[in-house]
Structure 1
Amino acid sequence: MGCGCRGGSVALTWAESYLGKVRASVGDTDTIFFVGARTVLFDDQGRLLLIQRSDNHRWAIPAGAMELGESMEDCAVRELWEETGLKATSLTPYAFYTAYTYTNEFRHTYQQVLMTFVVHEWEGELLRQTEESVDAGFFALDALPGPKSFVIEEALSDLDEFRATGRLVMK
């Protein structure tokens, strides 16, 4: 698997994705693992890249579930590309989350296993709308749009901790 920026694959639909297949097999009520990656990307003016998700219209950092055969880094690169049209060319993992259980607006419950990456370099032109986002842009930290995903503040706080200590944040 991969993003259109690696090997020409196209994005999968929810039903075609590994997570979609597992959810369909298990049903809506059981808790399953969500293994995936997030990216935090700042432009040269220190503004944070956010997308407005097409499913719930919340502003969020680009993120999504791993597909079979991907590494967490490949997942982060693919999800950023699918949601923004930007391809990460240099990124560093800084936080790893395994202790969170989350129920989404579809009443699906997941135990999350997520790696968050900070993107240092990227290429491409920002797409404001994709199949997964209805808007996207770079925002000053003191002027983030809402409604916001609850993970933004934690991701930024954990990045500050990583930069201060040089150690992977694990929760």
Structure 2
Amino acid sequence: MASISWAESYVGQLRALAGDRVLMFVGARAVVRDEAGRLLLIERSDNSYWALPAGAMELGESIADCAVREVWEETGLRAKAVTPFAMYTGPDRTITNMYGDTYQLFVVAFRVDEWDGTLLTTTDETTNAGFYPVGEFPAPMSGAVEETLADLAAFEATGRLVMK
């Protein structure tokens, strides 16, 4: 899988055409755990926050393919099986990023059930990565991590997709 630049991405091209309008951002977020139950976190190169692997869906791929691709691009790991467990949608999910661009998010969170490969700690999109025990996460942390983990716990307890 080859990485593409922001300008080449679907959202990057749409942003160039739309100017400062609010855009819909469709994306995926992935929870990857190792055999010890530690959580994979990446340090994002754009804002230095620690986060889950995540990003925007491209034309021609499914939302599950997006999750698999984002894990690959940001960690070098190959997600071999994924399960959706939460959807984050609605006007309360509207954000303005550090570049001043505003998006209403539609994000699907996936649990990575099987993966292989060797973790890369530095990629085009990350400056560090590692597996961390719950409660021992590095800072600063993306606000989405705790909510996503709570929703995964709810999904695993009930088997019901979390819809927000």
Which TM-score tier does this pair reach, normalised by the shorter chain? over 0.9
The unaligned stretches of length 5 or more in structure 2 are none
User: What letter corresponds to residue 120 of structure 1 in structure 2?
Assistant: D
Match of 2:129 among 136, 152, 163: 136
User: What letter corresponds to residue 144 of structure 1 in structure 2?
Assistant: F
Match of 2:75 among 68, 81, 84: 84
TM-score by length of 2: 0.97
The unaligned stretches of length 5 or more in structure 1 are 5-9
Structure-1 separation of matches of 2:132 and 2:29 = 17
Match of 1:55 in 2: 46
**TM-aligned CA deviation for residue 46 of structure 1:** 1.0
Match of 1:107 among 100, 112, 131: 100
User: What letter corresponds to residue 38 of structure 1 in structure 2?
Assistant: R
Structure 1 runs (4+) deviating above 4 angstroms are none
TM-score by length of 1: 0.93
Structure-1 separation of matches of 2:66 and 2:101 = 21
Task: Give CA deviations for 1:69-88 in whole Å, capped at 9, x if unaligned.
Answer: 11000000000000000010
Match of 1:7 in 2: none
**TM-aligned CA deviation for residue 107 of structure 1:** 1.1
Match of 1:38 in 2: 29
Structure-2 separation of matches of 1:26 and 1:84 = 31
The aligned length equals 162
SS class of match (2:40): strand
Structure-2 separation of matches of 1:146 and 1:34 = 26
Match of 1:17 in 2: 9
Asked if residue 145 in structure 1 is aligned to residue 129 in structure 2, the reply is no
Structure-2 separation of matches of 1:125 and 1:166 = 30
